[in-house]
Structure 1
């Protein structure tokens, strides 16, 4: 039997074809199908084309974890419709991207997983009960996310322009990486960016931090403290300290700055056991064994 595991986050959609034993056979990285940022027809087309490339014979069972599939019934219904139109005759199960993340990172066991990518959220799994913390979106929260880091970074840049803060290497890097002729061009530059695009510039903070920029390093410390707060809130759900893991681009690109802060107070922090798309594969496999 073949399975397709799909991790549909806010920035990209990753699809992996697995065999019965969980071995990766093929994989694709496609544009995001986030229900709030991608037109419905385009999301259907991206998902349909992706599964057809991986499984032209229509034999695979699909497990999909898609951003936006949460508490709001309207969004859940829309995502389910998109999946039905895209997958058609293929059997599938759809969950949130955070659900497959915790399934993969903890290999199906109880514990806590924090996700810091374009947005941020933490999820606790205990006795098959899921509890979330954060995940309020960029307008209300997403503290510690790539978007949050980028906004903090650009705000610091503006303060450096004003003279409220002295100019550092961060100022020079933003001028270069954003191709600005004069620093006030940042206003026009930002007005043409959406949430995902803004988040994509968080890498500049990493460049500055690696060069010892104090503001960039402090932004990462603030991000780590926000992420730690999500975890500590969910720890109240557990009588003993559970296994805690993490995934997302912030950890991939800034682990040297984020993890030491978390490790100061969290002794059970581990690297993720499996990827989110593997978690989606495991959910698809559970679908097959249902009576």
Structure 2
């Protein structure tokens, strides 16, 4: 039987749902569960409720009671955590004596690198670049579409619609991509304007696969958008001094698609991510457990 002092819990919370995994100190899964959306900025009440329900479901599968959970080593990476007060609000709502809460960027990096040093380029609906060293982690980006998120799915989709507007005005040559997007969202310019006015980041991001497919096929406007995205990513990498053994991981739903477009010396450093954001939460919780064990 697993000692309660060996219980390690990782939590990954995002806009599409949350995941909880309970493992022992050796990494053996004791119980796991999925729950509803968990973005603290979008809906703090539902975030706390959905994570709590998933925790109790995973605990029931693991045969753990409330006293066991109180003694567990826990790390939760939750989307939309923007401040210490956000993290504390989540931690206080969960059934643990001690729970470290961060945003999901931290757990994404930990999961991708798995304790190694290097760079994580995360590209999904949003985007960020992180550089992890033995001294700490530096984050670039993650500002949201209104202020940044360059190269993200939302940014790609919006940039493609900007190319559509330029093509409609006769300032750039139209292409299969711009014609297809106009037909999909239009056909009249006012229809595209109405879409853009009401579109969320996810709505823009839904166009990103078409943009990347078009760029791969040599579409002039698709390539223009992707080249602008690459220019941003390369600037980020140029601000980072990689050591000899540092690696680069591309994560997120769209990250791996950029591998073939990056410059050769960057491609040479790319390796597959070691794991997911949930794996990162577990890894950080296990590191917390190891530290506790060494100090006890």
TM-score by length of 2: 0.80
Matches within 5 A, 1:68-87: 68-69=80-81, 75-85=83-93, 87=94
1:196 aligns with 2:202: yes
Contact map agreement 1:138 1:195 (CA 8 A) in 2: yes
Per the alignment, residue 19 of structure 1 pairs with: 23
Contact map agreement 1:14 1:277 (CA 8 A) in 2: no
Alignment partner of 1:151 out of 158, 169, 175: 158
Matches within 5 A, 1:135-150: 135-150=142-157
Structure 1 residue runs of 5 or longer lacking an equivalent are none
Contact map agreement 2:38 2:51 (CA 8 A) in 1: no
1:120 aligns with 2:120: no
Q: Post-superposition shift, 1:262?
A: 2.4
Q: Secondary structure at the match of 1:141?
A: coil
CA distance in 2, matches of 1:32, 1:216: 33
Cα gap change, 1:95 to 1:265, in 2 (>3 Å): same
Q: Secondary structure at the match of 2:262?
A: helix
Alignment partner of 2:237 out of 231, 235, 250: 231
RMSD: 2.7
Per the alignment, residue 52 of structure 2 pairs with: 48
Structure 2 residue runs of 5 or longer lacking an equivalent are 1-5
Matches within 5 A, 1:83-102: 83-85=91-93, 87-89=94-96, 91-102=98-109
Cα gap change, 1:181 to 1:54, in 2 (>3 Å): farther
1:165 aligns with 2:177: no
Contact map agreement 1:106 1:245 (CA 8 A) in 2: yes
Cα gap change, 1:109 to 1:189, in 2 (>3 Å): same
Cα gap change, 1:281 to 1:126, in 2 (>3 Å): same
Per the alignment, residue 281 of structure 2 pairs with: 280
TM-score by length of 1: 0.81
Contact map agreement 2:33 2:54 (CA 8 A) in 1: no
Contact map agreement 1:157 1:171 (CA 8 A) in 2: yes
Q: Post-superposition shift, 1:91?
A: 4.3
Per the alignment, residue 77 of structure 2 pairs with: 65
Aligned positions, number: 276
Deviations 1:226-256 (A, max 9, x none): 1122122122xx554622222112224xx1x
CA distance in 2, matches of 1:144, 1:81: 32
Q: Secondary structure at the match of 1:249?
A: coil
Contact map agreement 1:116 1:251 (CA 8 A) in 2: yes
